[in-house]
Amino acid sequence: MKKVSINDIAKKAGYSKTTVSFAFNNPERLPEQTVKRILDTAEELGYSPDPIARSMSTGHTGTIGVLFPQSIPDVIRNPFIPEFLAGVGEICTREGFTLMLVPPLKGSIRRAIENAAVDGFITLGLEEYKATMVVLRQRGVPFITVDSDPIEDIPAVNIDDETGAKEAMLHVLEQGHRDIRILAIRSGREGHYEEYHGTLHYRMNGYLAALSEYGLELDRKHIRLIEGACTEYGGAESFRVIWKGRNRPTAIVAMSDIMAIGALNAAREMHIADEEISMVGFDDIPMAASVNPALTTVAQPHCKKGQLAAELLLNTINGEVDNTHYVLPTELVLRNSVFKVGE
């Protein structure tokens, strides 16, 4: 059974394509009679308009794309991504847009961008961002960036990673800790933090700023940096490495909750008492509140970030020009995973 098109209806109902199109899109300018007859035959023939043809004609799709830096499974398993997407989705739903998840296509982010039939993109924590920007510009649809180094003439949404990180570290220092490990998200830089980009860069800066207020710095002995995969397993593994080394720390400051929780689990498995190792995370994922001890961490407004990103993009799509770079605040959430030294 071939697809029935607007032509078939026109023929069967005895009108032209134009009239049929009107019956669907501007019924008010047609006599009721006509509309009814057309809608009836459409119903009868089982007609469903073709969204692609419509887009072809109107020049827009009613869809926005979220550009993922990695495969969908890798990204969506980050516990804060759903909350971010909820924010984006809220605005989309409100404005009648649908959402497309756009991971690299056969390994190529360029191909992904070129293939996605969307009215605009939200990019999420891009890595190879310079090359990607070129492709995006070329693609010719509006886009905005989230969680990457902002670009002059492109709207951007970021959080105040630096302040958040600084507060986290300060809190640990205030509790008297002086043997500290910074648990960083593995980058391509293998610990060369001077070369960190975007989020990693800002968080690292925050940690260092706090240390410096106490006259401290990375010293390969008491204060050290260690990188791990941004997963529960990565956190656990890193913890084992840390604990095996000489000069055990009394506190760990992690760049992500999921790593912090992994580390804490590893510690529990090794029968290390809660008080022996203080921990502070980053992100405030839902699980952070429910683990035991509940994780002290830096909260960021994931949902609001998504909302703002979507609103900015839709505005841009609607032709408004506002290249503001927004920076949303973070907040230190005190729970039970940081202990005073010597208690």
Interaction site with a copy of itself (CB under 8 A): 3, 46-49, 51-53, 55-56, 61-63, 71-73, 76-77, 79, 81-83, 85-90, 92-93, 96, 98-106, 112, 114-117, 135, 137-140, 261, 286-287, 290-292
CB of 307 to a copy of itself, least distance (A): 10
**Interaction partner, residue 25 (a copy of itself, DNA, none; CB < 5-8 Å by kind):** DNA
CA angle 310/314/316 to nearest 5° reads 120
Angstrom distance (rounded) from CA 78 to CA 259? 11
Angstrom distance (rounded) from CA 302 to CA 281? 15
Report whether 186 contacts 228 (CB < 8 A): yes
Of the pair 65, 164, the CB lying nearest a copy of itself is at 65
Of the pair 17, 192, the CB lying nearest DNA is at 17
According to CB under 7 A, which residues from 59 to 118 bind DNA?
59
The maximal CA–CA distance of the chain, rounded, in angstroms, is: 89
CB of 110 to DNA, least distance (A): 15
**Interaction partner, residue 31 (DNA, a copy of itself, none; CB < 5-8 Å by kind):** DNA
Strand partners, 297: 333
Of the pair 100, 216, the CB lying nearest a copy of itself is at 100
Of the pair 113, 242, the CB lying nearest a copy of itself is at 113
For residue 79, how far is the Cα from the chain centroid?
10
E strand segments, the chain: 63-67, 98-102, 121-124, 143-146, 156-159, 180-185, 223-228, 251-254, 278-280, 297-299, 325-328, 331-333
Binds DNA by CB under 7 A, chosen from 1, 31, 271, 343 = 31
Q: Does 334 bind DNA (CB under 7 A)?
A: no
Stretch that binds DNA, among 55-63, 87-95, 160-168, 235-243 (CB under 7 A): 55-63
Binding footprint of DNA, residue count (CB under 7 A): 27
CB of 37 to DNA, least distance (A): 9
Angstrom distance (rounded) from CA 105 to CA 266? 36
Residue 340 burial class via C-beta count within 10 angstroms: exposed 0-12, middle 13-18, buried 19 and up: exposed
The alpha carbon dihedral of 129, 229, 186, 287 has a sign of positive
Q: Does 319 bind DNA (CB under 7 A)?
A: no
Q: Does 43 bind DNA (CB under 7 A)?
A: no
**Interaction partner, residue 326 (DNA, a copy of itself, none; CB < 5-8 Å by kind):** none
Angstrom distance (rounded) from CA 171 to CA 162? 14
Closest alpha carbon to 124 in 75, 79, 91, 90: 75
Positions in the binding site for DNA (CB under 7 A): 3, 5-7, 14-19, 21-22, 24-25, 29-31, 34, 47, 49-50, 53-54, 56-59
